Structure 1
Amino acid sequence: MSELEAAILLAGAGMALSVIMAVAWRVQQSTGQSGWIDTIWSFSVGTVGAALALWPGEDGLSLRQILVAALAAAWSLRLGASIARRTIKGGEDPRYAALYEQWGENYSRRLFWFLQIQAAAAFVLVATIAVAAHNPVTELRLADMAGAFVLAIAILGERLADNQLRDFRSNPANRGKVCETGLWAYSRHPNYFFEWLGWCAYPFFGINADLTYPIGFATLAGPVFMYWLLVHVSGIPLLEAHMLRSRGAQFEAYRSRVNAFFPGVRKGARS
């Protein structure tokens, strides 16, 4: 693939993501449910990322392209379907509810541009997938197998965390309580941790030990960018602010015992 062709493909991907998130804004305005935003975002990253991954090179499709595209699609389908199921059941995402309170009558207009920023964030991740898939080394390496293993573990781990939280919330006896079972006893956000871990897989596909594919180091942008988003921007800060408002001292005690992101040894006995 020439540099010009790559630039055209990436520009097309950026425009497609912008349009898709404009559609997501319209869906939210029509339904009043912000969960559809994250559903559409998840599907768009997987769809556009897989499409770029599968774009044929000079020698046709490589096994790495097919593997990366399949893994990206599997991640996208699982995450998007999970959010969609939760959205269908009703309820507003507390992060968007906080933005609604903050923006007031300007919510609709500011949400539109906020979703365009999400489109830009999606572009970084889509580019990560594309760069990883188009590593010119023809044969699959041990590094590729390691990347596939890491991403599979991430998908399964995030699914387990989501299922544990869903089962906890489905029990009426747990209404108003903080989930502290399973993975949630060792990380306050194990779903976010495994989401980040999945993006750590792409450097395995993209970086060559002999440095023959320098652009492969761009795949490091995926995990670095996702960590920043989840830990410092739109993930943990907004969600924990909501939990402190709704659960108060109970969540504060949980926060004192359990790591925020990386699973680790608990700091004290459960009260």
Structure 2
Amino acid sequence: MGLPGRALFLLAASDFVLQWGLWAVAAALRTEKFFDLAGSGAFILLAQLSLSWGNSSHPRQQIQTGLVTVWGLRLGLFLFLRILKDGHDRRFHGIRDQPGIFFLYWTMQGVWVFITLLPTLLLNLEKREKPLGFWDYVGWSTWAVGFIIEAVADQQKWHFRSNPDNTGKFIQSGLWAYSRHPNYLGEILLWTGLFVSATSVLRGWQYVSIISPLLVWYLLNYVSGIPLLEKAAMKRWGKEAAFQAYLQETPVLWPIRFWQ
């Protein structure tokens, strides 16, 4: 195993040691309140570790790691404050009291963190120096668009839900008038951007890290994101004419409708 391989192994080990250690605490306390915070923290930890082990003096690696860190800090704090406000996370109903299944959730979070961050880890561990170029700026610009969309959508929904006049209502204003899940759209865009910027130095087998944005897209579209929220929304507002109109007029994710 070469130096990058050993470094990736150690990074993966650090990721799972963190997840499993925090699972033990969460299981003992029967709480999911710091689950998302642990995930965001793992992104920051692995990005910073890989930067320190790799070519930490090059601006490409410093910028890429900075973008991951900014995203992790914002999302981690936002999700932590949200669960403190709500008091629970519906994903864990009936799960937090079952340590074995709860362990699987923390393990899958570790897998998600490592795979999603893989392009940045490979970039940071790359010793070759190469001037900043077209794909760096395209990738970082895509990240910026995605980050802004995600942050604005999250903030709009937070303010909507904080208004007592909106109790029992669904949001359909702001970015939510153009997409039913704009925060997920932003998430997909920003990780796609970080893969694109990493292609400036990726070579050979390292392009397998395209699995990062593909995994994010798949999970949000088919597993833990949109399906769960759409099902919950249908259960709550499915009989309302206004909600049915919203479904008909507003795309699920991309703010574009395609006609045959």
Residue 70 of structure 2 is aligned to residue 79 of structure 1: no
Q: Would the aligned equivalents of 1:132 and 1:202 in 2 still touch at CA under 8 Å?
A: no
For 1:223, which of 185, 191, 213 is the aligned residue? 213
1:201 paired residue number: 193
Deviation at 1:19, TM superposition (A): 1.8
TM-score normalised according to structure 1 size: 0.85
Counterpart Cα distance in 1 of 2:184 and 2:256: 14
For 1:239, which of 214, 218, 229 is the aligned residue? 229
CA distances 1:213-254 after superposition (whole Å, capped 9, x unpaired) = 224423322111100111111111122222222333244543
Counterpart Cα distance in 2 of 1:108 and 1:254: 39
1:10 paired residue number: 8
Quick check: 166-175 or 13-22, which moved more?
13-22
Residue 114 of structure 2 is aligned to residue 116 of structure 1: no
The letter for the 2-side match of 1:56 is: G
Q: Would the aligned equivalents of 2:27 and 2:102 in 1 still touch at CA under 8 Å?
A: no
Deviation at 1:47, TM superposition (A): 2.0
Aligned pairs for 1:102-251 (under 5 A) are 107-134=98-125, 136-208=128-200, 213-250=203-240, 251=243
Counterpart Cα distance in 2 of 1:212 and 1:26: 37
The letter for the 2-side match of 1:115 is: W
Aligned pairs for 1:85-104 (under 5 A) are 85-97=81-93, 100=94
Quick check: 162-171 or 255-264, which moved more?
255-264
The letter for the 2-side match of 1:126 is: L
Deviation at 1:9, TM superposition (A): 1.3
For 1:55, which of 46, 53, 56 is the aligned residue? 53
For 1:34, which of 32, 51, 54 is the aligned residue? 32
Deviation at 1:126, TM superposition (A): 2.5
Quick check: 171-180 or 116-125, which moved more?
116-125
Deviation at 1:32, TM superposition (A): 4.4
For residues 62 and 215 of structure 1, do their structure 2 counterparts lie closer, same or farther at Cα, with a shift above 3 Å needed?
farther
Q: Would the aligned equivalents of 1:257 and 1:266 in 2 still touch at CA under 8 Å?
A: no
For residues 212 and 34 of structure 1, do their structure 2 counterparts lie closer, same or farther at Cα, with a shift above 3 Å needed?
closer
For residues 31 and 255 of structure 1, do their structure 2 counterparts lie closer, same or farther at Cα, with a shift above 3 Å needed?
farther
Q: Would the aligned equivalents of 1:25 and 1:115 in 2 still touch at CA under 8 Å?
A: yes
For 1:22, which of 8, 20, 23 is the aligned residue? 20
CA distances 1:151-178 after superposition (whole Å, capped 9, x unpaired) = 1222221110011001111111111111
Q: Work out the number of aligned pairs and report it.
A: 256
Q: Would the aligned equivalents of 1:186 and 1:259 in 2 still touch at CA under 8 Å?
A: yes
Unaligned runs of 5+ in 2: none
The letter for the 1-side match of 2:111 is: A
For residues 29 and 245 of structure 1, do their structure 2 counterparts lie closer, same or farther at Cα, with a shift above 3 Å needed?
farther
TM-score normalised according to structure 2 size: 0.88
Deviation at 1:266, TM superposition (A): 11
Deviation at 1:265, TM superposition (A): 5.2
For 1:260, which of 234, 237, 252 is the aligned residue? 252
Quick check: 239-248 or 223-232, which moved more?
239-248
For residues 32 and 188 of structure 1, do their structure 2 counterparts lie closer, same or farther at Cα, with a shift above 3 Å needed?
farther
CA distances 1:118-160 after superposition (whole Å, capped 9, x unpaired) = 2112111222211234453421112212222221222221110
